[in-house]
Chains A and B, each alone.
Chain A
């Protein structure tokens, strides 16, 4: 009898310690993909954010602060990468999602609440987004995005405008060696339109082209019933990266109107950049075929020497506002603040040095007076 009671007591104790250690773990361990910014790291983030916001404001973009969650359908429809969306169910049974990006939220707002606002509409946003993906390159599952959206402007002018805003943001941050890679979904899209192959084979083609795998492409082409001229176009696609000469090279390959129109458009943008003495930051990249499904025209990614991942990306997504009920052209981009923070070290003002240390004995009135005169104080408690 006694032994049994002891066993019972032991097991209860055991359960308690287990529960305690489990609780402990949940406080020390932060969920994978989250992070905590403290002190200098937090200030660095804010300094970068403010610098970029001031550039956006300088180009007459107005801030939009959308909710951190919305109906799941908004993101599933607008953004697409369903497996990366954090979703949950509210008490009424609605399926909601934490925002994985801003663009679909902003597009929805423009197509609904701002539907009768005069165009163009220029908006910028800054905040955290959440994606269930492998934390990589300084970007966690929760990460900071800052970007702009331009709705209802003429295509060419709006495309150039958002690119110029991106250029100024880099310059404002003191980054000189940045490259903006400019491509178009319509160039490759026009080629694919002409190829009559089942979707699986098109996907297989995209897969090898996406990683510029020449031998994989060759092996695949052997099995595809395409005429040699089309095969040669596909062989050339991965190499179509560089300056203006790339556009001429691409012209010699394609004749379909969609691709040709894309080349005309890129050439016009490039020429404008040449006239502005900014073409050194622009690379034409027709071999880039990645990108969210919502892109419909130009597509760009920005790289900085010394960082293995892109720091900004964007493009045109005319179909997105239409998906929410209002057909209005749209273009925009976003920066990854976490990645920028790795390559930019903004000069932080040293708060401690500027603050007058006020001894608590000397009374709180002194502290109030200093504060009213705009001085920083630090009470010696």
Chain B
């Protein structure tokens, strides 16, 4: 497989007047991976995606999309994009809409016929192919928008909040589509606030705050070594609680419940032994993998949003 990075950026920067929207965007996305882009509102996520897609010209810095410089027209033939606030020519019906975008991709008539009917089936909108987009619900619009992004069998797909308007069935559909894309070797760049979705689908994530990437890592390594533990202890004494600080952080206790975060599973039997040696009665010990949401708040901080 081609080792070219799907996306590569070096210090991309965007300034609007005297407002710095993106300070320093340096990241890389490998081909075939599902990449999550996370950050609070106003962090510069949308502007970053716009710079990658040539909607906005960077003030400085460089970048590459599928090995070609940003703004290259031919690279965009292999790219699909579902905007966050998608709006389409709503007087077209679903089929005409897909044909229009297929033509804009430069697809031949035969190609288009095949792909349009296939994609309408895929997103479950085949029975609505003759209905005008203006009669579509938000969920349906999002699905047709997704179909539009997949028309030209793209190598790289940008999804900006793709599941925000969808019901659980729709979200499952998007997840399945992302999984299929990945199995075909395509790359997915996902902007999402729904951290539970990102957790399920992404391989690597980057956290962006104040226009800068502050952490970029594989999802596995991020959540690894972070286990939250919930304990229910009878005869809980302050002495027991204080001693727990040896194995974990962020120890919180109230009445008979204790919460703490441990670095490693091996701490668990030691904690159990400690509690019992000190005269406590251990009724329950429940380890939980740290949710991405907690991690997000930890990395980004609660002051990040606008």
A binds B: no
Chain B residues with CB under 8 Å of chain A are none
Chain A residues with CB under 8 Å of chain B are none
